[in-house]
Amino acid sequence: MPSDAPRSGRYSVFAIAREALRQHSGWKRAWASPEPRGRYKVIVIGAGGHGLATAYYLGRNFGITDVAVLEKGWLGGGNTGRNTTIIRSNYLQDPSAALYEKARSLYETLSQELNYNIMFSPRGLIMLAQTEHEVRGYRRTVHANNLQGVATEWIEPARVKELVPIINLDGPRYPVLGGLYQARGGTARHDAVAWGYARACSDMGMHIIQNCEVIGIETECGQVRAVNTSKGRIGCEKLAIVVAGHSSQLAEMAGFRLPIESVALQALVSEPIKPCMDVVVMANTVHGYMSQSDKGEMVIGGGTDGFNNFTQRGSWHHVEETVRALIETFPMISRLKMLRQWGGIVDMTGDRSPILSATPVGGIFVNCGWGTGGFKAIPGSGWAMAELIAKGTPGPLAAEFGLNRFREGRFIDESVAAGVAH
């Protein structure tokens, strides 16, 4: 049962001072490492941000704490720990804007709620318009956001320059014509989001079981019964599959198919330098986006491979394309150095929007298809998914994101506004 004092201890500056006096010997585990029980009411497969948030809101909003979160590797080790940490909700279509804005607004207070500093930093986010077509698209988005309760505005080039002094507005090929600005968009510390949720889940008595790979899903009369794992069979009443990158493989174990393709998406960081850019800048025409982390690294998002694969690396030429675009946009980064590049596997749906849905198997729910932009959605995704699992039917946030939309042609396509980058 949840109690006032979390099992992991309460974090504060006073706790740090206290521990400093006793050689930091009193810190407790942030999350427990239990052996699985034989059965849980709900099993969530995947201890990434979305899976942990799903579990967290099952407990917080519905009082369901008989939950296990199973993780093949280490928690937060998939795309939660590999993305460029951008948070925004300036989406065009109503269902997307509702979901991402819910997530963004939950991020605003998540550090306080979790008593774990996830470093949500509403530093502002600009999507640059570099063609007349983009100008029209972003102006349309501002109109839509205005009616969706998402605070965005169109800004002229002079304002872009004011917010991003290092930008070059007058590149010879794609001059900056303005931008879509979301002042309360920004970044958060990605690992901390996973760790904060994990700690909160563990404090509620949920089991987070790492190094526990699901190798089979047991169903009976169209109803889920159990999962078979590297740590044995575990029974469950309900099962949530929240495993970006490998969703289609898990679905196959349960006997259904998902309209998902998996591709590698890359990112890279520069060496750390002193602060030079406070806002997040996305440039979709030239395919690049960049922010500066609190550590000082320029965090750069790259492209997706043009072919399906499961290698968490990606092709070199995408790095070249991304870096070119950014040097063109920010000439001063030219002599900075790439410190590290990496890749993650993202789920892509036909309309590039996520799936939060019941499935053909009773008791099994899926949360997948976040494509290149899942991190920003984590709290909202968990919130909506928990409601779906608890009630068995989607609430308004998840209603439009069901699997049946593909059959009905009810796509939620953001391509007009989102360009390459989410």
Partner 1 sequence: MTRTPPFRLAQGGRLIDRAFQLPFRFDGRHLRGVAGDTLASALLANGQMLMGRSFKYHRPRGPIASGAEEPNALLSLGQGGRFEPNQRATTTPLVAGMVTRSQNCWPSLDNDLMAVNDWLSPLFPAGFYYKTFIHPRPFWKHLFEPVIRRSAGLGAAPTDADPDRYEQAYAFADLVVVGGGIAGLTAARDAAASGQRVIVLEQAPHWGGRTPTDHPGGQAAIDALLADLSGRANVTLRRNTMATGLYDHGYLIAREAIADHDPNAGLPRQRLWRIRAGHVVTATGALERPLSFACNDVPGVMLASAVRDFIIDYGVAPGQSILVVTNNDDAYRTALAARAAGLDVPAIIDARPLADGALPQAARAAGIRVLTGTGIAKVKGGKHVEAAALCDQSGDGRVLETIACDVIAMSGGWSPVVHLWSHCGGKLLWDDQAAMFRPDPDRPPLGADGKGNVTVTGAANGDLACAGGLEQPEGATMPVWVMPARAPYRLRAKMWLDFQNDVKVSDVELAAREGYASVEHTKRYTTLGMATDQGKVSNINGLAILSAALDQPIPQTGTTTFRPPYTPLTLATIAAEARGEAFQPLRKTPIHGWHETHGASFEPVGQWRRPYCYPQGAEDRHAAVNREILAVRGGVGTLDASTLGKILVKGPDAGRFLDMLYTNMMSTLPVGKCRYGLMCNENGFLMDDGVVARLSEDSWLCHTTTGGAERIHGHMEDWLQCEWWDWKVYTANLTEQFAQIAVAGPKARALLERLPGTIDLAALPFMHWAEGELAGIPACIFRISFSGELSYEIAVPAGRGLELWQILHREGRDLGITAYGTEAMHVMRAEKGFIMIGDETDGTIIPQDLGLDWAISKKKPDYIGKRAQQRPHMTDANRWKLVGIESLSNKVIPDGAHAVAPGRNANGQRNVQGRITSSYHSPTLGKPIAMALVRHGPSRMGEVLDFPMPSGDVMQGRICDPVFYDKEGSRLNG
Residues 179-198 that bind partner 1 (CB under 8 A): 189, 191-192, 195-196
DSSP result, 183-232 = TT-EE--HHHHHHHHHHHHHHTT-EEE-S--EEEEEEETTEEEEEEETTE
Minimum CB–partner distance for residue 225 and partner 1 (Å): 30
Minimum CB–partner distance for residue 161 and partner 1 (Å): 14
CA-to-CA separations, 263 to 248, 269, 311, 313, in angstroms, rounded? 12, 20, 8, 10
Q: Rule CB under 8 A: is residue 13 a binding residue for partner 1?
A: yes
Exposed/middle/buried for 419, CB within 10 Å: 0-12, 13-18, 19+? middle
Q: Rule CB under 8 A: is residue 5 a binding residue for partner 1?
A: no
Q: Rule CB under 8 A: is residue 27 a binding residue for partner 1?
A: yes
Kindly tell me which residue out of 294, 308, 360, 392 binds partner 1, with binding defined by CB under 8 A: 294
Exposed/middle/buried for 411, CB within 10 Å: 0-12, 13-18, 19+? middle
Kindly tell me which residue out of 1, 5, 147, 221 binds partner 1, with binding defined by CB under 8 A: 147
Q: Rule CB under 8 A: is residue 30 a binding residue for partner 1?
A: yes
Positions in 225-264 near partner 1 (CB under 8 A) = none
Task: Using the rule CB under 8 A, give the single segment among 31-39, 220-228, 237-245, 365-373 that binds partner 1.
Answer: 31-39
Spatial distance between the Cα atoms of 191 and 293, rounded to a whole number of angstroms? 13
Helix (H, G, I), strand (E, B) or coil at 291: strand
Number of residues that bind partner 1 (CB under 8 A): 121
Residue at token pair 């395919």: 287
Positions in 33-92 near partner 1 (CB under 8 A) = 33, 73-77, 81
371, 260 contact by CB (below 8 A):
no
Q: Rule CB under 8 A: is residue 313 a binding residue for partner 1?
A: yes
Positions in 384-413 near partner 1 (CB under 8 A) = 396-397, 399, 405, 407-411, 413
124, 318 contact by CB (below 8 A):
no
Q: Rule CB under 8 A: is residue 7 a binding residue for partner 1?
A: no
Q: Rule CB under 8 A: is residue 29 a binding residue for partner 1?
A: yes
Kindly tell me which residue out of 216, 308, 320, 391 binds partner 1, with binding defined by CB under 8 A: 320
Q: What are phi and psi of 238, to 5 degrees?
A: -130, 150
Q: Rule CB under 8 A: is residue 94 a binding residue for partner 1?
A: yes
Kindly tell me which residue out of 169, 183, 327, 390 binds partner 1, with binding defined by CB under 8 A: 327
Kindly tell me which residue out of 65, 89, 182, 270 binds partner 1, with binding defined by CB under 8 A: 270
Task: Using the rule CB under 8 A, give the single segment among 48-56, 245-253, 331-339, 359-367 that binds partner 1.
Answer: 331-339
Kindly tell me which residue out of 7, 41, 139, 231 binds partner 1, with binding defined by CB under 8 A: 139
Q: What are phi and psi of 137, to 5 degrees?
A: -60, -45
Dump strand ranges (E) for 353-392.
Answer: 355-358, 364-368
**Residue 22 CB contacts under 8 Å (≥ 6 apart), including other chains:** none
Which of residues 38 and 409 has its CB atom nearest to partner 1 in the complex? 409
* Per-residue tokens: 18: 């206290």
Minimum CB–partner distance for residue 64 and partner 1 (Å): 23
Which of residues 94 and 162 has its CB atom nearest to partner 1 in the complex? 94
**Residue 173 CB contacts under 8 Å (≥ 6 apart), including other chains:** 328
Spatial distance between the Cα atoms of 134 and 198, rounded to a whole number of angstroms? 40
Task: Using the rule CB under 8 A, give the single segment among 45-53, 327-335, 356-364, 371-379 that binds partner 1.
Answer: 327-335
166, 281 contact by CB (below 8 A):
no
Task: Using the rule CB under 8 A, give the single segment among 35-43, 172-180, 233-241, 369-377 that binds partner 1.
Answer: 172-180
Binding mask 149-168 for partner 1 (x = CB under 8 A): x---x------------x-x
